[in-house]
Structure 1
Amino acid sequence: MPRPFYILLAILALGAPQARAQRTEIARGIVYHDRNGNGRRDPGEPGLRDVRVSNQRVIVRTDRSGRYELPVTENTVLFVIKPKNWATVVDADGVARGYYIHNPRGTNKLRYGGVPPTGPLPASIDFALRPNRESRRFRFLLFGDTQPRDQKEIDYIAHDIVDQLIGFPAAFGVTLGDIVFNDLSLFPSLKRTLGAIGLPWFYVLGNHDTDQDVKGDELSTETFRRHFGPAYYSFDYGEVHFVVLDNILWKGPGYSGGLGPEQMEWLTNDLALVPPKQPVFLFMHIPLESTAERDRILALLQGRRTTFSASAHTHTQSHRFIGEAQGWHGSEPHHHLISGTVCGSWWSGAPDERGIPHATMSDGTPNGYSVVNVDGSRYTIDYYAASRPSSYQMSIAAPEEIEARASASADVQANIFAGSSRSTVQMRVGDGPWTPMEPVVTQDRTYMSLKELETSSTPPPGRRLPNASKSTHLWAARLPALGPGLHTITVRTTDMFGRTFEGHRVLRVR
């Protein structure tokens, strides 16, 4: 059994005020090798030692027999922190089930059902693990806000994104919050749709995934818990330690970005058990820069060999490099990805031949998803536009036709969807010389033309697009003097990982 002083410390960690308000009990159980994969402990299935288990505040390790003890109150989620080369049970939709909700009275009077009463604390809360060989080289999917309003928009997700990913060779997928758009009754259908991809899937809580009929943050994740488990947790895969954070502080009504003291305590305890050389990847919904505990989170990551974090929420795409000016003192800036979203601009814009809106985001990025490729402590990121070939990495804005005498005064604008301040971009016309394009922070011209159509005498069908925002991945250059004829503009970019991509556009000169 774990040493008694661990339990004493764990009880103290729950805090005196909470201890007076709620009854505290001791949960006991075993983490075991599920040899036959049925999710139940059968005779002869041994316990697993040194596996971490948490009650969302403190973390203990199992003893040599696989046993653990943790204090629980009347609303606690216990979960196993999946170790490398092991897998938890997943359900038919790919959702990991390595957790247990203890809520004797339940919260099922909430609008979307909350958590049903779980009854008395079981005598033993056991967690099944099965061997899962994990390479240091793997990849995973990142989905920014899926955020459907109704079943029709879930069908958009199915045909614009999921159809092309069924059977995709990845280790798992992650949805970075705003799983739905306030209607939590859509959770089951959305889970089934993403489950069709055939991967284990991890979910981050978004501000549109909360129980909004409660006045404060404490019960705002109840329905999410019923469908997906704890709102914050961690797991190991390959060489990487992954942390999922809940940085939505619901204020009923409204919200802000933050973790709160209990989760911050858990995160401190979690990372204290992670060796400094092990890469740490964080997932959250609201960008790190808008999270109240940003500086404290960064302090916990200081001194680690490789760190990376990803969010969504803004319905734009941006790579942020957090350095000394923001309180980061690592040898390299901390890389934070604000991911483009599956629903793009909330399924706005004219529909295509399938009836699916183009959903271009306000910074000119097409809706889509990312693939993160991991090799030990190194990684690369690819962005894929929905229903487009993988080669579609940029849009190029230039005049359709221009007079020869005006060509040298015309600009070309390139939107490199996954571009960053570390990208280099060049342009040439025909077989001419390569010339550098300069980064500009402005609005995407192609997107602005779409907005102009909405105010024309013949506006396109579909929900109106949001107003254009300033893009962080635009480059511009002046055309050279050109003679009459058809010319090909080529834009070449090298990304932060050293990879090169090209895009083309033809131009008529008269």
Structure 2
Amino acid sequence: MKTDARGRYRLPIEDEAILFVIKPSGWALPIDGHNLVQRHYIHRPNGSPASQYPGIAPTGPLPESVDFALRPSVEPAKFRMVLFGDPQPRDQKEVDYIAHDVVEGLAGVDAAFGLSLGDIMYDDLSLYDSLNATIATIGLPWHNLRGNHDMNYEAVDNTYCCETFKRVFGPTYYAFNYGQVHFLVLDNVHYEGAAKHNFHGELGETQLAFARNDLALVPKDKLVVVAMHMPLTAVSDREALYRLLEDRPHAMSISAHTHVHQHMFLGADEGWRGAQPHHHFNHATVCGCWWQGAPDEMGIPHTTMTDGGPNGYSIMTFEGAKYTVDFHPARRLPSDQMSIFTPDGVTSANSGDTDVLVNIYAGSPRSTVEMKVDKQSGWAPMQSIVREDPYFLKLKEAEAGPKPPPGRPLDDATKTDHIWTAKLPAGLPKGTHMMQVRTTDMFGHTYTARRIIAVG
């Protein structure tokens, strides 16, 4: 509902509720000592059910009025947001990994705010304060949504499974405006109870009603960004959400959860009826492959994701209804966007039959990828292929060998659609050659990488 001209409102309140304000553009909400955005008031007269991790203390009766203080704020049409997928530390050591691997490089970043896409924790909810204090050093207001590892598993069903999350962060779904963009943050993890892995993707009618009422007040010329934990394709009632977005010329959605990087363009085959495919961005994770793999010289596991991509974060840039995404691999240069694989033992006789495989970490079906060797006059197009990353397969082979590397074993490789292939030129003469690969992504950003090939 909308307030009147003086900011007043009237709402019916059930026995328990969380009231929150939808921040309009040009206004700012308060933040707490950990830079967490304060948008809500919790009404829980009797508090939360008993649980291993504390929930909400009894709040008692409602006050006469519940007010939200906003202050005027300059919000330009062009702004940036830091995007985290699954930080997901299981202990303090992994909070420290996040600090050194990701957060230290972000301190002072030029962005308006940050957003974490769920699985803030890996089941141990006592670590919220430590991780929040670490992320707060970036210096940005921070928004969060919950994932399947942010739950109180003592809960018998979905009703009270997020009491600790709510105590720390507030509502599990909400919305806010910044500049000319509307952000709709949804909770699509439905806990079935009985065990921590008993959950499925679902929004439910209460949330869908909220989304319906919220979007009814958002002009059609605004960009709508829908954020969630599980990918849209894993949500049972996703088509009800599609119906709310399909007539909007500017809408996209983001998720995490899978620990791989993937751009999806949803169309009729997925139940989307809009005039143009819907861009759903399933984002890489801060924790990569759950801090698996051998540690480096700093003691931090390489944590390569099962699609062969590195862990990291993204910067999303918004300007009016347009947006771009820039993936930043952890502790690497922003230009480090691909790996190039060629097998050993290339000869002049077999070069024309030798495959080159390139993993474009944040590539999409709308990326173009080209290669050339030495000073060839033109770039040869490479073809997209769905397969496992060759370097990740080598890591798995090493784990199966007689002397496995240190560190937690990696999960099995998964097939990915952001690998491209081509053959080396036939008859490459013996000697050392420089191969170049360049890619241009769906936003027009171009990156180049090189690999030296020794031909015998």
Give the TM-score range, shorter chain. Answer: over 0.9
What corresponds to 2:306 in structure 1?
362
Mapped pair 1:322 → 2:263 = no
Match of 1:147 among 73, 88, 96: 88
Q: Letter of the aligned partner of 1:175 in structure 2?
A: S
Alignment RMSD: 1.0
Indicate conservation of the 8 Å contact 2:246/2:275, yes or no.
no
What corresponds to 1:408 in structure 2?
352
Mapped pair 1:485 → 2:422 = no
1:167 Cα deviation from its structure 2 partner: 0.5
1:164 Cα deviation from its structure 2 partner: 0.2
What CA deviation, in whole Å up to 9, does each residue of 1:456-492 have, x standing for no partner? 1221110011000001100001111211111111111
Match of 1:241 among 182, 201, 205: 182
1:244 Cα deviation from its structure 2 partner: 0.6
What corresponds to 1:450 in structure 2?
395
Mapped pair 1:124 → 2:65 = yes
Q: Distance in 2 between matches of 1:473 and 1:280?
A: 26
1:373-412 equivalences under 5 Å are: 373-412=317-356
Name the SS for the 2:19 alignment partner.
Answer: strand
What CA deviation, in whole Å up to 9, does each residue of 1:362-391 have, x standing for no partner? 000100111111110001111110000011
Give the share of equivalent positions with the same residue, in percent.
Answer: 50
Q: Distance in 2 between matches of 1:374 and 1:400?
A: 44
What corresponds to 2:108 in structure 1?
167
Q: Distance in 1 between matches of 2:399 and 2:202?
A: 37
Name the SS for the 2:292 alignment partner.
Answer: coil
Q: Letter of the aligned partner of 1:507 in structure 2?
A: I
Q: Distance in 1 between matches of 2:227 and 2:242?
A: 14
Q: Distance in 2 between matches of 1:474 and 1:355?
A: 29
TM-score (norm 1): 0.87
1:332 Cα deviation from its structure 2 partner: 2.0
What corresponds to 1:336 in structure 2?
280
1:305 Cα deviation from its structure 2 partner: 2.1
What corresponds to 1:311 in structure 2?
255
What CA deviation, in whole Å up to 9, does each residue of 1:215-266 have, x standing for no partner? 1001111111000000000000000110110001001121000111211111
Q: Letter of the aligned partner of 2:219 in structure 1?
A: P
What corresponds to 2:208 in structure 1?
264
Q: Letter of the aligned partner of 1:470 in structure 2?
A: K
Indicate conservation of the 8 Å contact 2:79/2:318, yes or no.
yes
1:398 Cα deviation from its structure 2 partner: 0.8
* Worse-superposed segment, 149-158 or 330-339: 330-339
Indicate conservation of the 8 Å contact 1:108/1:116, yes or no.
no
Q: Distance in 1 between matches of 2:5 and 2:362?
A: 47
Name the SS for the 1:72 alignment partner.
Answer: coil
Name the SS for the 2:82 alignment partner.
Answer: strand
What corresponds to 2:221 in structure 1?
277
TM-score (norm 2): 0.97
What CA deviation, in whole Å up to 9, does each residue of 1:118-150 have, x standing for no partner? 111111211000111001100101101100000
Indicate conservation of the 8 Å contact 2:222/2:320, yes or no.
no
Query: Could you say which structure has the larger radius of gyration?
Result: 1
1:426 Cα deviation from its structure 2 partner: 0.7
What corresponds to 1:200 in structure 2?
141
Match of 1:302 among 246, 262, 269: 246
What corresponds to 2:375 in structure 1?
431
Q: Distance in 2 between matches of 1:426 and 1:444?
A: 18
1:293 Cα deviation from its structure 2 partner: 1.6
Q: Letter of the aligned partner of 2:242 in structure 1?
A: L
Q: Letter of the aligned partner of 1:506 in structure 2?
A: I
What corresponds to 1:470 in structure 2?
415
Mapped pair 1:91 → 2:32 = yes
Between the two proteins, the alignment pairs up a number of residues equal to 451
Indicate conservation of the 8 Å contact 1:108/1:117, yes or no.
no
Name the SS for the 2:208 alignment partner.
Answer: helix
Q: Letter of the aligned partner of 2:411 in structure 1?
A: P
1:276 Cα deviation from its structure 2 partner: 1.4
1:92 Cα deviation from its structure 2 partner: 1.5
What corresponds to 1:229 in structure 2?
170
Q: Letter of the aligned partner of 2:112 in structure 1?
A: A
What corresponds to 1:75 in structure 2?
16
Name the SS for the 1:418 alignment partner.
Answer: coil
Indicate conservation of the 8 Å contact 1:285/1:311, yes or no.
yes
Indicate conservation of the 8 Å contact 1:401/1:507, yes or no.
no
Q: Letter of the aligned partner of 1:454 in structure 2?
A: E
Indicate conservation of the 8 Å contact 1:439/1:475, yes or no.
yes
1:400 Cα deviation from its structure 2 partner: 4.0
1:345 Cα deviation from its structure 2 partner: 0.3
Q: Distance in 2 between matches of 1:338 and 1:356?
A: 25
What CA deviation, in whole Å up to 9, does each residue of 1:182-206 have, x standing for no partner? 1111111111111110001100110
Q: Letter of the aligned partner of 2:414 in structure 1?
A: S
1:328 Cα deviation from its structure 2 partner: 2.2
Match of 1:189 among 103, 107, 130: 130
Q: Letter of the aligned partner of 1:483 in structure 2?
A: P
